[in-house]
Structure 1
Amino acid sequence: MSSLVDGVLLVALVATSACVLPMYLKLKRLDRTQAEYGAAVAASGVALTQAGEAVRSFKEEGREVLDALSLKIEEARATLDALEASRAALVAARSENP
């Protein structure tokens, strides 16, 4: 009778081990996948941080370029006004001396 109970317990142990082993392998695979997912999320965070820094840099550089262009436009307008005044003075001088 004791050997019958031992046999049943051995079969139950083998069956339990057979069920636990695939579950263990699935959990190990899940852990590996979760680690890969965590690494991907961390890499995405770094990439987003770098993209944010690049956007801020572009904004600052764009502001500097805009300011420089505004100054150059003002200089060009002043030069144009001076040229037009010079031309008008030349035309007036030519009309006085026929």
Structure 2
Amino acid sequence: MVQIKENFVDESTTIDMAEMFKALGDPTRVRIIYALLQKELCVHDVCIVLDMTQSAVSHQLRYLRNTRIVKRRKVGKTVFYSLDDRHVEEIFAQTLQHLKHG
């Protein structure tokens, strides 16, 4: 038990990890992530794919950006969103694989 306690994850990391899972706990955000797995999209394109308002999509993208799940790239006045890094893709793929396995 001492060895487990000595190697235990710190409080800050547990909070960050819980926030990551919280972000993935919303069906709309999962749909956005799935769309962004396919390709980089602007807000307008995400609205069309998910059949949602720009306000609702922007709110969810802001949340995903704050949790470092997505990143943005600005070209003129257009903002394009993509997954932040390969780790996000792997987490998503592993979760899908787990669900299909059971």
Q: Does the alignment reach a TM-score above 0.5?
A: no
Higher relative contact order (CA 8 A, sep 6+): 2
Q: Which has more radius of gyration? A: 1
Structure 1 length-normalised TM: 0.23
> Where is the strand percentage greater, Structure 1 or Structure 2?
2
> Where is the helix percentage greater, Structure 1 or Structure 2?
1
